[in-house]
Chains A and B, each alone.
Chain A
Amino acid sequence: MSNPIQAIPTGLTHVRRGDTREAHQRPLELGLIVRLMRYTRPYAAKRNWLLMFVLFRALQLPLLAALFAAVIDGPIEQRLPWGLALGTAAYALLALSEVVVLHFRMRLAMELGEAVVNDIRNEIFTHLQRMPMSFFNKTKLGRIISRITSDANNVRLGVQEVLFVCLVQGGQMFVAAAMMLWRDQLLFLLLLTLSPVVWAINRYFRPRLSTAHRNVQESFSRVTATLAESVNGIRVTQGFVRQDVNARMFRDLIADHSEYHLIAQKMHGAFLPLLDLNGHVFAAALLVVGGYRVLAPGVDSSIGDLVYYFFLANLFFGPIVAIGRQYNNAMTAMAGAERVFGLLDTPPQWSDPPDAVTLPRIQGRVEFDRVGFEYEPGRPVLNDINFVVQPGQTIALVGHTGSGKTTLINLIARFYLPTTGTLLIDKHDTRKINGKSLHRQMGIVLQTNFLFTGTVMDNIRYGRPDANDEQVIEAARQLDCADLIEALPDGFDTSVGERGSSLSLGQRQLVCFTRAMLADPRILILDEATSAVDSVTEARVQRSLTSLLQGRTSFVVAHRLSTIRDADQVLVLDHGQIIERGTHDQLIADSGMYAKLYRQFVRGIDLS
Chain B
Amino acid sequence: MPTTPDDPSNGVLIRRLLALSWQYRRQCLTALTLGAGTLLLELTALGLVGLGIDMIQYHADSGITPISGWLGAQLINEWSPMAAVTIISAAVIGAATLYALLWYGAMISEARLVQDIIVRLRSEVYDKLQRLSFRFFDSHESGSIINRVTADVQAVRGFVDRVIIEGLGLLLALLFYLIYMLNIHAALTLACLATTPLIWVGVVTFTRIVRPAYKRSRTLADDMVLRLSESVQGIHVVKGFARQESEISKFQQASLAVRDQQQWIFWRVSTFVPAITFLTHLNHIVLLGYGGYLVIQDQLPLGSGLIVFAGILQRLSTRVSDISNIANSVQRSLTGAARVFEVLDTPIEIASTTQTKPLPNGMLGVRLDNVEFGYKEDQPVLHSVNLEVQPGQCIALLGATGSGKSTLLSLIPRFYDVTDGQVYVGGVDVRELDLDELRRSIGTVFQENFLFSNTVAANIAFGHPEVDRKQIKHAARIAAIHDFITQLPDGYDTIIGENGVDLSGGQRQRLAIARAVLLNPSIMLLDDPTAGVDPQTEHQILTAMDQAIAGRTTIVITNRLSTLRWADRIAVIDRGRIVQVGSHDQLMAASNWYREMAQLQGAQANATVTPAGTKGSDYE
Contacts of B424 in A (CB 8 A): none
The reply on A478 being an interface residue by CB < 8 A is: no
Q: List 12 A-B contacts (CB under 8 A).
A: A12-B452, A68-B310, A99-B278, A141-B232, A220-B150, A225-B498, A227-B150, A239-B442, A400-B536, A530-B534, A597-B536, A607-B604
Inter-subunit contact A255/B119 (CB<8 Å): yes
Give the distance in Å from the alpha carbon of A272 to the alpha carbon of B104 in the complex.
9
Q: Which residue of B lies closest to A16 (CB)?
A: B499
Contacts of A378 in B (CB 8 A): none
| Residue in B107, B252, B285, B292 whose beta carbon sits within 8 Å of that of A76 in the complex | B292
Distance in Å from the Cβ of B362 to the closest Cβ of chain A? 21
Inter-subunit contact A76/B82 (CB<8 Å): no
Inter-subunit contact B123/A84 (CB<8 Å): no
Distance in Å from the Cβ of B249 to the closest Cβ of chain A? 10
| Contact code string A497-534 (vs B, CB < 8 Å = 1, else 0) | 11000001000000000000001000001000111111
* Residue from A20, A232, A236, A302 whose CB has the most chain B CB atoms within 10 Å: A236
The reply on B401 being an interface residue by CB < 8 A is: yes
A:390-447 near B, CB below 8 Å: 400-401, 413, 415, 435-437, 439-440, 442-444, 446
Give the distance in Å from the alpha carbon of A372 to the alpha carbon of B462 in the complex.
45
Contacts of B89 in A (CB 8 A): 284-285, 287-288, 291
| Contact code string B92-108 (vs A, CB < 8 Å = 1, else 0) | 11011101110110011
| Contact code string B299-332 (vs A, CB < 8 Å = 1, else 0) | 0001000110010000000000000000000000
Give the distance in Å from the alpha carbon of A418 to the alpha carbon of B450 in the complex.
38
Q: Which residue of B lies closest to A498 (CB)?
A: B226
B residues contacting the other copy or chain, number (CB 8 A): 163
Inter-subunit contact A602/B246 (CB<8 Å): no
Contacts of A80 in B (CB 8 A): 296
The reply on B339 being an interface residue by CB < 8 A is: no
Inter-subunit contact A588/B608 (CB<8 Å): yes
The reply on A4 being an interface residue by CB < 8 A is: no
Q: Which residue of B lies closest to A454 (CB)?
A: B230
The reply on B383 being an interface residue by CB < 8 A is: no
Give the distance in Å from the alpha carbon of A228 to the alpha carbon of B247 in the complex.
32
Give the distance in Å from the alpha carbon of A308 to the alpha carbon of B85 in the complex.
18
Inter-subunit contact B259/A118 (CB<8 Å): yes
Give the distance in Å from the alpha carbon of A335 to the alpha carbon of B95 in the complex.
43
Inter-subunit contact A270/B111 (CB<8 Å): no
| Residue in A20, A242, A302 whose beta carbon sits within 8 Å of that of B462 in the complex | A242
Give the distance in Å from the alpha carbon of A608 to the alpha carbon of B605 in the complex.
11
Q: Which residue of A lies closest to B275 (CB)?
A: A99
Inter-subunit contact B246/A303 (CB<8 Å): no
The reply on B76 being an interface residue by CB < 8 A is: no
**A287-B56 contact given A231-B137, A235-B415, A532-B559, CB 8 Å threshold:** yes
The reply on A487 being an interface residue by CB < 8 A is: no
Inter-subunit contact A229/B453 (CB<8 Å): yes
Q: Which residue of A lies closest to B462 (CB)?
A: A240
**A452-B104 contact given A236-B450, A240-B463, A542-B619, CB 8 Å threshold:** no
Inter-subunit contact B533/A566 (CB<8 Å): no
Give the distance in Å from the alpha carbon of A566 to the alpha carbon of B89 in the complex.
99
The reply on B375 being an interface residue by CB < 8 A is: no
| Residue in A121, A273, A302 whose beta carbon sits within 8 Å of that of B103 in the complex | A273
Give the distance in Å from the alpha carbon of A245 to the alpha carbon of B461 in the complex.
12
The reply on A111 being an interface residue by CB < 8 A is: yes
Give the distance in Å from the alpha carbon of A74 to the alpha carbon of B565 in the complex.
105
Distance in Å from the Cβ of B232 to the closest Cβ of chain A? 5
A contact face: mostly helix, strand, loop, or mixed: helix
Inter-subunit contact A133/B401 (CB<8 Å): no
The reply on B520 being an interface residue by CB < 8 A is: no
The reply on A168 being an interface residue by CB < 8 A is: no
Inter-subunit contact A14/B455 (CB<8 Å): yes
Give the distance in Å from the alpha carbon of A538 to the alpha carbon of B616 in the complex.
11
A:26-75 near B, CB below 8 Å: 68, 71-72, 75
Give the distance in Å from the alpha carbon of A435 to the alpha carbon of B52 in the complex.
82
| Residue in B52, B296, B454, B560 whose beta carbon sits within 8 Å of that of A81 in the complex | B296
| Residue in B59, B107, B284 whose beta carbon sits within 8 Å of that of A265 in the complex | B107
Inter-subunit contact B306/A247 (CB<8 Å): no
Which of A86-94, A187-195, A202-210, A379-387 is near enough to bind chain B? A86-94
Inter-subunit contact B232/A144 (CB<8 Å): yes
Distance in Å from the Cβ of B549 to the closest Cβ of chain A? 15
Inter-subunit contact B137/A401 (CB<8 Å): no
Which of A171-179, A320-328, A336-344, A557-565 is near enough to bind chain B? A557-565
The reply on B73 being an interface residue by CB < 8 A is: no
Contacts of A463 in B (CB 8 A): 241
Give the distance in Å from the alpha carbon of A311 to the alpha carbon of B302 in the complex.
14
Inter-subunit contact B499/A15 (CB<8 Å): yes
Inter-subunit contact A242/B463 (CB<8 Å): yes
Give the distance in Å from the alpha carbon of A182 to the alpha carbon of B539 in the complex.
90
The reply on B526 being an interface residue by CB < 8 A is: no
Contacts of B602 in A (CB 8 A): 560-562, 601-602, 605
The list of the 9 closest CB pairs from A to B, nearest first, reads A280-B96, A265-B111, A531-B532, A444-B240, A269-B107, A273-B100, A107-B270, A561-B602, A439-B242
Give the distance in Å from the alpha carbon of A487 to the alpha carbon of B46 in the complex.
77
**A284-B281 contact given A76-B296, A262-B115, A265-B111, CB 8 Å threshold:** no
The reply on B472 being an interface residue by CB < 8 A is: no
Give the distance in Å from the alpha carbon of A284 to the alpha carbon of B51 in the complex.
11
A:82-107 near B, CB below 8 Å: 84-85, 87-88, 91-92, 95-96, 98-100, 102-104, 106-107
Contacts of B415 in A (CB 8 A): 235, 238-239
The reply on A224 being an interface residue by CB < 8 A is: yes
Given A15-B499, A453-B226, A539-B619, 18 extra CB contacts under 8 A: A68-B310, A87-B288, A91-B284, A129-B238, A129-B248, A145-B228, A246-B130, A262-B115, A269-B108, A273-B104, A280-B93, A290-B56, A311-B310, A543-B616, A561-B602, A566-B615, A597-B535, A607-B603
